[in-house]
């Protein structure tokens, strides 16, 4: 079954803690994206990567970090510098920018 998998579904972060959200795809897509969605809001771009070992900051990259060591994987770390991390995080992939395939999301909450 081809697709994009995000884990975990729910994640809780303690103050001062870094947490990592997983995103894996077996669609053989070159491009991958991380978006943040707050209640009643649209999607805001955090980071994106068009090719392995390369990534660019989106509109709200502060307090986040990513890596792209493999084509299939694009993990997002929410660092302690992100003071308001509670949100729904969505990972997506695409062959080009004409259609994004999204995962089912990770809901991150602060304890």
Which chain residues interact with another protein by CB under 8 A?
33, 35, 40-45, 48, 50, 56, 58, 88, 90, 92, 97-105, 107
Distance of CA 50 to the CA centre of its chain: 14
Name the 3-class secondary structure at 43.
Answer: strand
Closest approach of another protein to the CB of residue 9, in Å:
9
Between residues 53 and 104, which has the closer beta carbon with respect to another protein? 104
When the beta carbons of 5 and 65 are compared against another protein, the nearer one is 5
16 or 42: CB nearest another protein: 42
Pair 25, 33: CB distance under 8 Å: no
User: Are 95 and 30 in contact, with CB atoms under 8 Å apart?
Assistant: yes
């Amino acid at each position: 079954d081809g697709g994009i998998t995000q884990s975990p579904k729910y994640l809780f972060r303690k103050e001062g803690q870094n947490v990592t959200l997983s995103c894996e795809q077996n669609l053989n897509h070159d491009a991958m994206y991380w978006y943040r969605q707050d209640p009643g809001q649209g999607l805001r771009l955090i980071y994106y990567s068009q090719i392995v070992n390369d990534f660019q900051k989106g509109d709200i990259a502060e307090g986040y970090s990513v890596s792209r060591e493999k084509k299939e994987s694009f993990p997002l770390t929410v660092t302690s510098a992100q003071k308001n991390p509670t949100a729904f995080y969505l990972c997506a992939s695409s062959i080009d920018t004409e259609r994004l395939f999204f995962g089912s999301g990770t809901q991150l909450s602060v304890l």
